[in-house]
Amino acid sequence: MIRSHNCGELKLADVNKKVILSGWVQKIRNKGFIIWIDLRDRYGITQLVFDEKRSPKKVFDIAKNILREFVIQISGHVIERESKNDNIRTGSIEVLVNSIEILNPSKTPPFTIEDISDGGDELRMKYRYLDIRRNKIKENLIFRHKVTMEVRKYLSNNGFIDIETPYLIKSTPEGARDFIVPSRMNPGEFYALPQSPQTFKQLLMVGGIDRYFQIVKCFRDEDLRADRQPEFTQIDCEMSFVNQEDILNQFENLISHLIKKINNYKLDKFTRMTYDQAMREYGTDKPDIRFEMKLADITKNAKGFGFKVFDSSESIIGFPIKKAANYSRKEIDYWINWVKQPQIGAEGIVWIKYNDDKTLKSSVDKFYSQDVLLKWMKTFKANPGDLVFILSGELKKILKQLGELRLNIAQKIGLRDPTVFAPLWIVDFPLFKYDEVSSRLLAVHHPFTSPKEEDIKILKDNPEKVRANAYDLVINGNEIGGGSIRIHDSKLQKEIFKLLNLSDEEVDEQFGFLIDAFKYGAPPHGGIAFGLDRLVAILGGEEIIRDFIAFPKNNSGRDSMIDSPSKIKKDQLDDLGVKIKKHLK
Amino acid sequence: MIRSHNCGELKLADVNKKVILSGWVQKIRNKGFIIWIDLRDRYGITQLVFDEKRSPKKVFDIAKNILREFVIQISGHVIERESKNDNIRTGSIEVLVNSIEILNPSKTPPFTIEDISDGGDELRMKYRYLDIRRNKIKENLIFRHKVTMEVRKYLSNNGFIDIETPYLIKSTPEGARDFIVPSRMNPGEFYALPQSPQTFKQLLMVGGIDRYFQIVKCFRDEDLRADRQPEFTQIDCEMSFVNQEDILNQFENLISHLIKKINNYKLDKFTRMTYDQAMREYGTDKPDIRFEMKLADITKNAKGFGFKVFDSSESIIGFPIKKAANYSRKEIDYWINWVKQPQIGAEGIVWIKYNDDKTLKSSVDKFYSQDVLLKWMKTFKANPGDLVFILSGELKKILKQLGELRLNIAQKIGLRDPTVFAPLWIVDFPLFKYDEVSSRLLAVHHPFTSPKEEDIKILKDNPEKVRANAYDLVINGNEIGGGSIRIHDSKLQKEIFKLLNLSDEEVDEQFGFLIDAFKYGAPPHGGIAFGLDRLVAILGGEEIIRDFIAFPKNNSGRDSMIDSPSKIKKDQLDDLGVKIKKHLK
């Protein structure tokens, strides 16, 4: 027996028991005649005592030479502590050691295994197995486990069947780039790793499975932005014989259940908002609605007053900041400089202070009378004491800028309360977007998304106005999941492919099997997929997904711990019938 | 609302209710004035009635033109059936239809969607989504879901944490061939898909996770034997601060719990057997112990009697078949021909009938007296009425032949009772095997497997005699899982690598990160992995794993439904910096 108890369970009631403990040395306090060691395992910390008088000499001598992170096994008796530590579960007792074995020594770790470590990001990634020893990461992984167990239980209880779909599938140019896998048994041919199990879950619906789910890895070979991973995990779901309303209700219940179970937090009915409204009022399709600061458009009432900047702008839009009329020039300049940074790219901010005494002071007083400004205040729903920020320019551009400005101000002034969850369905997404680069329509969601029944008639003449049966779930400004009701009619599907400028050949090559399947009685169906990494982070009250992944990759897609990707041997490539291009060797 | 009820739930109590049902048309019986349609969904079948008199004319006319596998939605009233069908849950009622919508028509399926289909294997694979509509496959997938849910619940309740390990890892020549994935962001370099999460689960133990599990896809680029898949699923587990006994007990409990919960079958304590005993008594390391027929060695008592075949053989081994002394010459010849087939490769069988009257009749009466034969009978533990089959030749070869012969006879005479589960731990595997081709030692399990403490002293001088802390779980002659206690001492690990003839460079390149990790305090640890596909099949009372996988690949690693692997576009390869060798284009 390597241990009789773990390091997190001994209590006063165990005093006098003979115990065997094993674990890592967290901390050593050596007073010369007495040595205390904090022994750590997954379950907690137990204080060990080595006493020159009460411990065997051999044991005491070994203890003197132990270092941090050694793995040791001890046996001894549980005794009551003189000075108790209420901060840890085992704080009432300690173990007087009478035998010890060093199971494994340890080099000095490259960073401290403490809640707040002295290790930088890169170092902690390289030694991720040591980082996982830290409470923060360990607890995050356990938290993730709890969330997935709860998701599985809930979905299973609701009739969803967990079905594994294949990982070695077929490359399709839809969406992002595929990772591909050369086939040795079929030389010159390649599998692709799934960007999502989309087509397979639809085939399961054609197969009559009715309700499917899977917590599944997906792969996208994208240029990585901060906090994106080339492999990531989805909670993937699909249902048959449902409409959009059924799906929104079903998964609203899932998320409410999760937040109740995991965070002990009761959610109200989820807010719903059209894509158009979200863009208009928040400048983004994933608004954080924990706070107001809604955008309002004053274009009509701000042009023609001789202020050239506004006069030459497509749109003039702003939002109020509550109780901020007393901002100093310096504070206002901070945000003016903030929007000027290249990532935001605005020219500046027009500001208006709506003073407590109802006077107005603005950066454009030269051009606008108090009456005009007061009219604007009404449009912005600003009250005395508020500050209003206004941007002008091309509508699409400034909406994005305003959305980011709004979020960052809220962050800075503490309006993004991490103890509040504000979920929101965004509905009525457009079906297509026009791509300037390729001069053609692209699917906003994916090519299997169905248009709204009532918009089918304008598909040909006004495709950009067609709304989709597509929805996103947003929590606190983060997109948590998205999905759609699929097209189950093969004629309509063909029409959509045509609008997407996919030739019959391309369609047949890439999706032939799906089109074929739809000819054998496809049921109406739809689904949703949640980004598990992000969902877990949000439920955990954080936004950095990497801290909730056991072995994440860095921003160049590398695992610096195992040093992968790496070169492979020539004969391995020979077997696969591929070679590396010369200039890369 | 697309349905108010599913097709498996309406009962007598629902009579007179107005319902909406949706599903597939399973069967149509058209009597001219009345049409019955069996409507099917995942949950069951409900009989619909279209009656010339009682249904609206338009509805009746539509019904006349409906074909098998059309997806329809109907509304109507539940009525009591005149002739009830006790075979289905909804057999007491039917639904009198008063409105109908064809949600999707269907071409005639290429095979019948019945419990016993007329479709061949290949056809059913190509149209797997239709095959899944069949009860058998659908129920298998639901069964698999139940098993995995139960595994997760049990392990989670026992303190195991479900942690996802990465899929894009590093190629190591250990074991089978890797599937590799070119990295676009790191041109000329490759990821590999994991053959198992072995190193990562060990790193999690170094990270203090203590108990880990994952139900995870693994990938091996092997030449496929029948019923092998290039991607397959493992229940992967690892524990810290345990010895072999702890692991056997923990996972014996898991399997007992599963078989109790899933099959309502109570298992006794699992049998344990050393590898040596299994080979000696059953000729295989995965014996089916639901029946006796144990092997016995008569080499010593069969040589030197002038029978050249035996005299020139390394070993002479046989086994008794109960109550088979009355086999006809034809029956015996059947098995003689059976062992002569190239896959088995024996020269023939020596047989002895131990007649009910205690006389003995054999194919070698010319050489052996009744007394000698009687002595053999004792060795074989044969009784009057039994038949004994004997093979001779090279020990290793005939053990394999006898193992297969024994299993196939038992199969034929009905001793492999599918309602009985006989689990068995095989322990004390050898650590190494000598590979004739490469003239070097190979790891039987994998290079991280620890040798038995007491055998470490013979590591250098007699490595092939070293026993490992390795174990397999066998149920009914199938290997269900296997694992080992790992080496946690980096010095010992280095020694093993050396015996495996891996250079420091190779070790550093392939496992450097693991060796490094072990320097920072690795705990004693060990684990096990179960083949989920096979486990589910066995619990389901079958042995063909393909029927328990939603979208399996065929024996050349192809998915004939999506036609993958496939050619990909040149610019995709260009992006990756790889090209296909000329002769393959």
Test mutation, A42, A191, A508, chain B, max B CBs within 10 A: A191
Do A66 and A45 form a contact (C-beta atoms < 8 A)?
A: no
CA distance B107 to chain A (A): 5
Instruction: Locate the chain B residue with the closest alpha carbon to A126.
Output: B513
Chain B CB contacts of A551 under 8 Å are 165-166, 200, 203
Which residue among A133, A219, A557 places its CB closest to the CB of B207?
A: A133
- Rounded to whole angstroms, the Cα distance separating B497 from B443 reads 10
Cβ neighbors of A300 (< 8 A, separation 6 or more) are none
Alpha-carbon distances, residue B205 vs A555, B214, B523 (angstroms)? 26, 14, 7
SS3 of residue B333 by DSSP: helix
CA distance B446 to chain A (A): 19
Burial of B348 (0-12, 13-18, 19+ CB in 10 A): middle
- Find the radius of gyration of the CA atoms of chain B: 30
Chain B CB contacts of A230 under 8 Å are 168
Do the chains contact at B104 and A207, CB–CB below 8 Å? Answer: no
Q: Give the residue from A543, A277, A273, A295 showing the smallest Cα distance to A401.
A: A295
- Rounded to whole angstroms, the Cα distance separating B276 from B278 reads 5
Do the chains contact at A168 and B207, CB–CB below 8 Å? Answer: no
Do the chains contact at A186 and B558, CB–CB below 8 Å? Answer: yes
pLDDT number for residue B508: 86
CA distance A154 to chain B (A): 11
Which residue among A207, A243, A561 places its CB closest to the CB of B2?
A: A243
H or E element in which residue A562 lies: none
Which residue among A144, A191, A241 places its CB closest to the CB of B3?
A: A241
**Dihedral over Cα of B242, B246, B250, B251: its sign:** positive
Within 10 A of B178 (CB to CB), how many other CB atoms are there? 23
Do the chains contact at B168 and A565, CB–CB below 8 Å? Answer: yes
B108: left (phi over 0), alpha (psi -120 to 50) or beta: beta
Res. A173 pLDDT band, cuts 50 70 90: low
| DSSP type of residue A438 | T
pLDDT number for residue B585: 62
A468-498, pLDDT tens digit by residue?
999 999 999 999 999 999 999 888 998 999 9
CA distance A436 to chain B (A): 21
CA distance A207 to chain B (A): 5
CA distance B241 to chain A (A): 6
Test mutation, A564, A570, A571, chain B, max B CBs within 10 A: A564
- Rounded to whole angstroms, the Cα distance separating B170 from B189 reads 10
- Tell me the one-letter amino acid at A138: K
Alpha-carbon distances, residue A526 vs A208, A238, A485, A493 (angstroms)? 13, 6, 4, 14
- Whether the predicted pLDDT of A95 surpasses 80: yes
Region A48-59: mean pLDDT is: 96
- Rounded to whole angstroms, the Cα distance separating B359 from A175 reads 79
Test mutation, A7, A106, A160, A180, chain B, max B CBs within 10 A: A180
| DSSP type of residue A585 | -
CA distance B131 to chain A (A): 7
Res. A235 pLDDT band, cuts 50 70 90: very high
Test mutation, A39, A168, A186, chain B, max B CBs within 10 A: A168
Chain B CB contacts of A163 under 8 Å are 141, 144-145, 550
Do the chains contact at B557 and A186, CB–CB below 8 Å? Answer: yes
Instruction: Locate the chain B residue with the closest alpha carbon to A147.
Output: B162
* A164-168, A498-502, B400-404: segment of lowest average pLDDT: A498-502
Chain A CB contacts of B3 under 8 Å are 241
Do the chains contact at A204 and B109, CB–CB below 8 Å? Answer: no
Backbone phi, psi, residue B269, to 5°: -50, 140
Region A447-467: mean pLDDT is: 95
pLDDT number for residue B173: 66
Do the chains contact at B69 and A521, CB–CB below 8 Å? Answer: yes
Q: Which residue has the higher pLDDT, A544 or B56?
A: B56
List, for chain B, all residue ranges whose pLDDT scores fall below the cut of 50.
none
Do the chains contact at B520 and A171, CB–CB below 8 Å? Answer: no
Q: Which two tokens stand for residue B434?
A: 């000598």
What is the DSSP track for A225-250?
PTT--SEEEEEEEEEES--HHHHHHH
Which residue among A71, A187, A203 places its CB closest to the CB of B129?
A: A203
pLDDT number for residue A174: 62
* A156-170, A388-402, B348-362, B436-450: segment of lowest average pLDDT: B436-450
CA distance A202 to chain B (A): 9
Do the chains contact at A41 and B208, CB–CB below 8 Å? Answer: yes
Measured in whole angstroms, the distance separating CA B149 from the mean position of its chain's CA atoms is 18
H or E element in which residue A356 lies: none
Chain B CB contacts of A577 under 8 Å are 580-581, 584
- β-strands B432-435, B440-443: how paired? antiparallel
Peptide bond into B523 cis (omega under 30): no
- Whether the predicted pLDDT of A147 surpasses 80: yes
- Rounded to whole angstroms, the Cα distance separating B151 from B3 reads 33
- Rounded to whole angstroms, the Cα distance separating A72 from B48 reads 71
- Whether the predicted pLDDT of A172 surpasses 90: no
Do the chains contact at A585 and B520, CB–CB below 8 Å? Answer: no
Region A249-268: mean pLDDT is: 96
Q: What is the pTM of this model?
A: 0.95
- Whether the predicted pLDDT of A585 surpasses 70: no
CA distance A532 to chain B (A): 11
Do the chains contact at A565 and B105, CB–CB below 8 Å? Answer: no
Chain A CB contacts of B224 under 8 Å are 185
Res. A139 pLDDT band, cuts 50 70 90: very high
Chain B CB contacts of A517 under 8 Å are 129
Backbone phi, psi, residue A455, to 5°: -100, -5
CA distance B174 to chain A (A): 13
Backbone phi, psi, residue A204, to 5°: -65, -35
Instruction: Locate the chain A residue with the closest alpha carbon to B169.
Output: A564
SS3 of residue A271 by DSSP: strand
- Whether the predicted pLDDT of A43 surpasses 70: yes
CA distance B499 to chain A (A): 23
Do the chains contact at A166 and B106, CB–CB below 8 Å? Answer: no
Q: Give the residue from A418, A417, A409 showing the smallest Cα distance to A320.
A: A409
- Rounded to whole angstroms, the Cα distance separating A125 from A566 reads 17
pLDDT number for residue A494: 87
Test mutation, B181, B213, B238, chain A, max A CBs within 10 A: B181
Instruction: Locate the chain B residue with the closest alpha carbon to A133.
Output: B207
Angle among Cα B423, B425, B427 to the nearest 5 degrees reads 165
CA distance B82 to chain A (A): 29
Mean pLDDT of chain A: 95
- Rounded to whole angstroms, the Cα distance separating B481 from B529 reads 5
Res. A523 pLDDT band, cuts 50 70 90: very high
- β-strands A578-580, B18-30: how paired? unpaired
pLDDT number for residue B582: 75
3-state helix, strand, coil in chain B (%, to 5): 30, 25, 40
Test mutation, A9, A181, A238, A533, chain B, max B CBs within 10 A: A181
Instruction: Locate the chain B residue with the closest alpha carbon to A245.
Output: B1
Which parts of B331-469 are beta strand (E)? 350-354, 360-362, 387-393, 423-427, 432-435, 440-443
Instruction: Locate the chain A residue with the closest alpha carbon to B162.
Output: A145
Instruction: Locate the chain A residue with the closest alpha carbon to B109.
Output: A520
Measured in whole angstroms, the distance separating CA A197 from the mean position of its chain's CA atoms is 19
Do the chains contact at B219 and A168, CB–CB below 8 Å? Answer: yes
Domains observed in chain B: 12-104 (2.40.50.140), 138-272+424-548 (3.30.930.10), 291-415 (3.30.1360.30)
Do B167 and A167 form a contact (C-beta atoms < 8 A)?
A: yes
Chain B CB contacts of A491 under 8 Å are none
Do the chains contact at A179 and B181, CB–CB below 8 Å? Answer: yes
Instruction: Locate the chain A residue with the closest alpha carbon to B135.
Output: A208
H or E element in which residue A319 lies: strand A315-321
Do the chains contact at B171 and A71, CB–CB below 8 Å? Answer: no
Q: Give the residue from B532, B478, B468, B463 showing the smallest Cα distance to B215.
A: B532
